[in-house]
A and B are shown apart, each in its own frame.
Chain A
Amino acid sequence: MGQLVLERLTKRFSDIPAVLDLWLEIEAGEILSLLGPSGCGKSTTLQMIAGVLRPDTGAVQLDGAMLNDVPPEKRDIALVLQRGLLFPHLTVGENVAFGLKMRGVNRADRDAQANAMLRQVQLAGFGDRKPSELSGGQAQRVAVARSLVIQPKLLLLDEPLSALDANLREEMQDLILHLQAQTGVTMMVVTHDQAEAVVMSDRIALMFDGQLRQVATPEHLYRYPCDEATARFMGGVNFFPGHAQGHRWTLATGETLMSDVAQNGAVQVTIRPEQMRVLDHPTAGVNTFAAKVMSQRFTGTQRRLTLSLHSELVLQAWVNPTQEWAIAQDVYVQLPPDALWCFPSDSNPAADLSLSIT
Chain B
Amino acid sequence: MVQVVQPELRRVRSRIWAEWMERSRPYLLLLPALSIIGVLFGGGLLLALFQSLGFFTLLGPGELSLEAYRAAYSNSEFWTSLLQSFYIAIVATALSTVLSVGLAMLLRSANRWATLACQITLPIPHLVGIAGILMLLAPSGLIARVFLALGWIQTDQDFPLLVNDGASIGLLIHFLWKEIPFITLILLAVLRGLNPAYEQQARALGASPWQCFWNVTLPLLKPGILSASLIVFGFIFSSFEVPFLLGAIQSRTLPVYVYRAFTDTDLTRRPEAIALGLTLSAISIAVIAIYLWITANARSQVSGKRNS
Cα A73 to Cα B197 in complex, Å, equals: 14
CB neighbours (8 Å) of B222 from chain A are 89
* A-contact 0/1 string along B193-208, CB 8 Å cutoff: 0010110111111111
Cα A246 to Cα B115 in complex, Å, equals: 68
Contact of A81 among B197, B211, B305 (CB under 8 A): B197
Q: With contacts A84-B307, A131-B307, A139-B307 known, is A89 near B302, CB below 8 A? A: yes
Beta-carbon contact of A73 and B203 below 8 Å: yes
Beta-carbon contact of A88 and B306 below 8 Å: yes
Residues 286 to 308 of chain B near chain A (Cβ within 8 Å): 301-302, 304-308
Beta-carbon contact of A89 and B301 below 8 Å: yes
Contact of B308 among A50, A71, A83, A98 (CB under 8 A): A83
* B-contact 0/1 string along A69-87, CB 8 Å cutoff: 0011101011101011111
Beta-carbon contact of B205 and A147 below 8 Å: yes
A96 shortest CB reach to chain B, Å: 10
Judge whether A130 is part of the interface by a CB distance below 8 angstroms: yes
CB neighbours (8 Å) of B301 from chain A are 88-89, 130
Judge whether B216 is part of the interface by a CB distance below 8 angstroms: yes
Beta-carbon contact of A86 and B307 below 8 Å: yes
B303 shortest CB reach to chain A, Å: 9
Judge whether B129 is part of the interface by a CB distance below 8 angstroms: no
Beta-carbon contact of B204 and A88 below 8 Å: no
CB neighbours (8 Å) of A84 from chain B are 307
Cα A113 to Cα B208 in complex, Å, equals: 21
Q: Which residue of B lies closest to A84 (CB)?
A: B307
CB neighbours (8 Å) of A251 from chain B are none
Task: Give the one of B219, B302, B304, B308 with max A CB within 10 A.
Answer: B308
CB neighbours (8 Å) of A102 from chain B are 202, 205-208, 211, 215
Residues 171 to 203 of chain B near chain A (Cβ within 8 Å): 195, 197-198, 200-203
Judge whether A103 is part of the interface by a CB distance below 8 angstroms: yes
CB neighbours (8 Å) of B207 from chain A are 73, 98, 102
CB neighbours (8 Å) of A101 from chain B are 215
Cα A86 to Cα B99 in complex, Å, equals: 29
Q: With contacts A102-B215, A103-B206 known, is A50 near B200, CB below 8 A? A: yes
Cα A182 to Cα B301 in complex, Å, equals: 35
Cα A101 to Cα B220 in complex, Å, equals: 18
* A-contact 0/1 string along B251-290, CB 8 Å cutoff: 0000000000000000000000000000000000000000
Beta-carbon contact of B201 and A88 below 8 Å: no
Q: With contacts A88-B306, A139-B307 known, is A98 near B215, CB below 8 A? A: yes
Q: With contacts A51-B203, A73-B207, A73-B208 known, is A88 near B215, CB below 8 A? A: no
Q: Which residue of A lies closest to B306 (CB)?
A: A88
Cα A227 to Cα B201 in complex, Å, equals: 36
Count of chain A residues near B, Cβ 8 A: 36
Q: With contacts A89-B220, A89-B302 known, is A98 near B307, CB below 8 A? A: no
Give the A-B pair count, Cβ closer than 8 A: 93
Task: Give the one of B206, B219, B302 with max A CB within 10 A.
Answer: B206
Beta-carbon contact of A85 and B197 below 8 Å: yes
Judge whether A134 is part of the interface by a CB distance below 8 angstroms: yes
Judge whether A150 is part of the interface by a CB distance below 8 angstroms: yes
Cα A51 to Cα B197 in complex, Å, equals: 13
Q: Which residue of B lies closest to A99 (CB)?
A: B205
Task: Give the one of B200, B208, B305 with max A CB within 10 A.
Answer: B200
Beta-carbon contact of A132 and B306 below 8 Å: yes
Beta-carbon contact of B205 and A52 below 8 Å: no
Judge whether A295 is part of the interface by a CB distance below 8 angstroms: no
Judge whether A337 is part of the interface by a CB distance below 8 angstroms: no
CB neighbours (8 Å) of A153 from chain B are none
Beta-carbon contact of B307 and A47 below 8 Å: no
Beta-carbon contact of A52 and B304 below 8 Å: no
CB neighbours (8 Å) of B307 from chain A are 83-86, 88, 131-132, 134, 139
Cα A234 to Cα B273 in complex, Å, equals: 83
Task: Give the one of B201, B219, B220, B305 with max A CB within 10 A.
Answer: B201
Beta-carbon contact of A72 and B198 below 8 Å: no
Judge whether A136 is part of the interface by a CB distance below 8 angstroms: yes
Q: Which residue of B lies closest to A53 (CB)?
A: B200
Judge whether A146 is part of the interface by a CB distance below 8 angstroms: yes
CB neighbours (8 Å) of B220 from chain A are 87-89
25 A-B pairs with CB atoms under 8 Å apart are A51-B203, A52-B204, A71-B203, A73-B208, A79-B205, A81-B201, A83-B307, A84-B307, A86-B307, A87-B198, A87-B219, A87-B220, A88-B220, A88-B301, A89-B219, A89-B222, A101-B215, A102-B206, A102-B207, A103-B206, A130-B301, A131-B307, A132-B306, A146-B205, A150-B205
9 smallest beta-carbon distances between A and B, as pairs: A132-B305, A79-B204, A131-B307, A99-B205, A72-B203, A102-B206, A89-B219, A52-B200, A102-B207
Besides the known contacts A84-B307, A101-B215, A102-B208, 17 further A-B residue pairs in the complex with CB atoms under 8 A apart: A47-B200, A73-B206, A73-B211, A78-B205, A79-B205, A81-B197, A85-B197, A88-B307, A89-B220, A102-B205, A102-B206, A130-B301, A131-B307, A132-B306, A146-B205, A156-B204, A163-B308
